[in-house]
């Protein structure tokens, strides 16, 4: 589908309200095929619905996963200066170099999954503003980050995983959840890269201050005010994937925060997205529940950098391989129950 790139905030908001739907006929045909494959009905559990979901978005009842793309967006946060992370802000740029040299977990997980990795650093020399003092990004900065996400998607990919790197961005994510869902700052604040339990109240106070300083409650508004460039870019990439009919696996706590802002703008915005894994960050389960999503994996991971999403590619590949490659009862001469 040729959808021109949104430019203004109104373009983004209009597009979110008129997103393309899955191919219902392809999904129906895939459901019928699933019903005659050589297995007891339902015996492949969630893999069955996963394959049908993928078929609907790819527009064919026997799809395959050949060209997954993983994108890691990186951004720096003004709020890092508040002492909310166990690591200093310079680790963001250092880890980007590590991604580029192949030394990070995500490099190995992409290799293992047969996925292409794109690394997109976003103005790392210019951290976003400290959101306890006002919006993290102005409109121009926010639009540039959304556009960077849009442009990073390979139109030839048949699956997209988005993830991020950004010291202090679990503070940003917690503030987004508080703004979206309410409750108390402590409900949404966790240990991130591994701050001490003693440091948690200070982090929660920064989260509360950020939400108090930024009263807007629209999804894009919250993303601009409390997010960061890498969060906005993940959102931009996921919208582009939707118009290209590329299904998406999302990563953990930070990724889910960014995409939850899209769901606030439009209830069906994440229909082409599944949750790759449940992060160990304590509020991720509640955040996924708000989206009505269950993660594919739950391995106690809390790394970010798209790692949980990249690992989940292998689950999706398994689901789609069974769906498209298995024999039917008729083909195999197996008696149905
Ligand atoms: O997304 C998650 O589930 C997640 C949970 C904990 C930490 N992270 C990663 O750790 C960094 C943010 O942690 P922090 O403590 O600096 O806010 C950032 O680079 C994230 O990719 C990510
Ligand atoms: C070393 C390190 C690696 C990461 N990868 C994603 N977030 C990260 C945060 C740190 C601190």
Q: Judge whether 230 counts as a catalytic residue.
A: no
Distance, CA 182 to ligand 1 centroid (Å)? Answer: 22
Work out the average pLDDT over 166-195.
Answer: 98
For 137, residues 6+ apart whose C-beta sits below 8 A from its C-beta are 128, 129, 145, 224, 225, 227, 228, 229, 232
Q: Is 105 in the pocket of ligand 2 (CB under 6 A)?
A: no
User: How many beta carbons lie within 10 A of that of residue 124, not counting itself?
Assistant: 18
pLDDT of the residue at 3? 86
The domain 68-319 is classified under which CATH number: 3.40.30.10, 3.40.50.300, 3.30.450.20, 3.40.50.10210? Answer: 3.40.50.10210
Evaluate whether ipTM surpasses 0.90.
yes
Mean pLDDT of the chain: 98
Cβ-contact 259, 238 below 8 angstroms: yes
For the CA of 166, the nearest atom of ligand 1: 19
Q: How far apart are CA 259 and CA 272, in angstroms?
A: 12
Residue 1 confidence (pLDDT) above 50: no
pLDDT of the residue at 337? 84
pLDDT confidence bin for 2, thresholds 50/70/90: low
For the CA of 169, the nearest atom of ligand 1: 17
Work out the average pLDDT over 9-21.
Answer: 98
User: Among 230, 305, 331, 336, which one carries the catalytic annotation?
Assistant: 305
Cβ-contact 310, 106 below 8 angstroms: yes
The domain 9-63+322-332 is classified under which CATH number: 1.10.1610.10, 3.90.1640.10, 3.30.70.1140, 3.90.1150.10? Answer: 1.10.1610.10
Work out the average pLDDT over 270-279.
Answer: 98
Q: Is this model's pTM higher than 0.95 or not?
A: yes
Ligand nearest 91 Cα, by number?
Answer: 2
Q: How far apart are CA 130 and CA 121, in angstroms?
A: 19
Cβ-contact 246, 115 below 8 angstroms: no
Q: Is 306 in the pocket of ligand 2 (CB under 6 A)?
A: no
Both tokens of 96, joined, read 């980007």
Work out the average pLDDT over 230-235.
Answer: 99
Distance, CA 9 to ligand 2 centroid (Å)? Answer: 31
Q: Is 77 in the pocket of ligand 1 (CB under 6 A)?
A: no
Q: Is 303 in the pocket of ligand 2 (CB under 6 A)?
A: yes
Work out the average pLDDT over 113-134.
Answer: 98
What percent of the chain stands above pLDDT 90? 98
Domains 9-63+322-332 and 68-319 agree in fold: no
For the CA of 166, the nearest atom of ligand 2: 7
Distance, CA 333 to ligand 2 centroid (Å)? Answer: 52
Q: Where are the domains of the chain?
A: 9-63+322-332, 68-319
Q: Is 282 in the pocket of ligand 1 (CB under 6 A)?
A: no
Distance, CA 170 to ligand 1 centroid (Å)? Answer: 5
For the CA of 302, the nearest atom of ligand 1: 5
Work out the average pLDDT over 264-277.
Answer: 98
DSSP 44: T
Distance, CA 80 to ligand 2 centroid (Å)? Answer: 14
Distance, CA 106 to ligand 1 centroid (Å)? Answer: 14
For the CA of 164, the nearest atom of ligand 2: 6
**Which of 301, 303, 309, 310 has the most ligand 2 atoms within 8 A of CB, as the residue to mutate?**
303
Beta-bridge partners for 121: 74
């Amino acid at each position: 589908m040729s959808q021109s790139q949104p430019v203004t905030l109104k373009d983004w908001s209009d597009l979110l309200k008129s997103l393309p739907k899955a191919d219902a006929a392809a999904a129906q045909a895939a459901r019928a095929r699933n019903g005659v494959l050589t297995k007891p009905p339902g015996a492949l559990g969630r893999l069955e619905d996963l394959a049908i979901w993928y078929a609907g978005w790819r527009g064919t009842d026997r799809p395959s996963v050949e060209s997954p793309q993983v994108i890691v967006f990186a951004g720096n946060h003004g709020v890092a200066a508040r002492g909310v992370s166990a690591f200093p802000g310079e680790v963001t740029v250092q880890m980007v170099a590590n991604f580029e040299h192949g030394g990070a977990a995500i490099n190995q997980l992409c290799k293992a999954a047969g996925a292409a990795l794109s690394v997109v650093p976003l103005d790392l020399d210019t951290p976003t503003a400290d959101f306890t003092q006002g919006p993290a990004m102005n409109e121009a900065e926010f639009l540039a980050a959304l556009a960077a996400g849009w442009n990073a998607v390979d139109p030839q990919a048949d699956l997209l995983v988005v993830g991020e790197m950004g010291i202090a961005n679990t503070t940003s994510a917690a503030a987004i959840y508080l703004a979206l869902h309410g409750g108390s700052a402590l409900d949404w604040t966790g240990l991130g890269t591994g701050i001490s339990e003693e440091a948690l109240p200070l982090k929660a106070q920064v989260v509360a201050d950020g939400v108090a300083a930024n009263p807007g409650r629209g999804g894009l508004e919250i993303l601009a005010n409390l997010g960061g460039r890498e969060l906005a870019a993940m959102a931009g990439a996921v919208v582009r994937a939707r118009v290209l009919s590329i299904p998406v696996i999302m990563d953990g706590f930070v990724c889910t925060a960014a995409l939850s802002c899209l769901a606030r703008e439009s209830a069906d915005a994440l229909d082409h997205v599944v949750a790759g894994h449940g992060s160990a960050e304590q509020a991720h389960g509640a955040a996924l529940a708000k989206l009505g999503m269950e993660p594919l994996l739950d391995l106690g991971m809390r790394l970010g950098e798209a790692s949980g999403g990249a690992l989940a590619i292998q689950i999706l590949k398994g689901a789609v391989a069974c769906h498209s490659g298995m024999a039917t009862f008729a083909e195999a001469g197996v008696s149905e129950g």
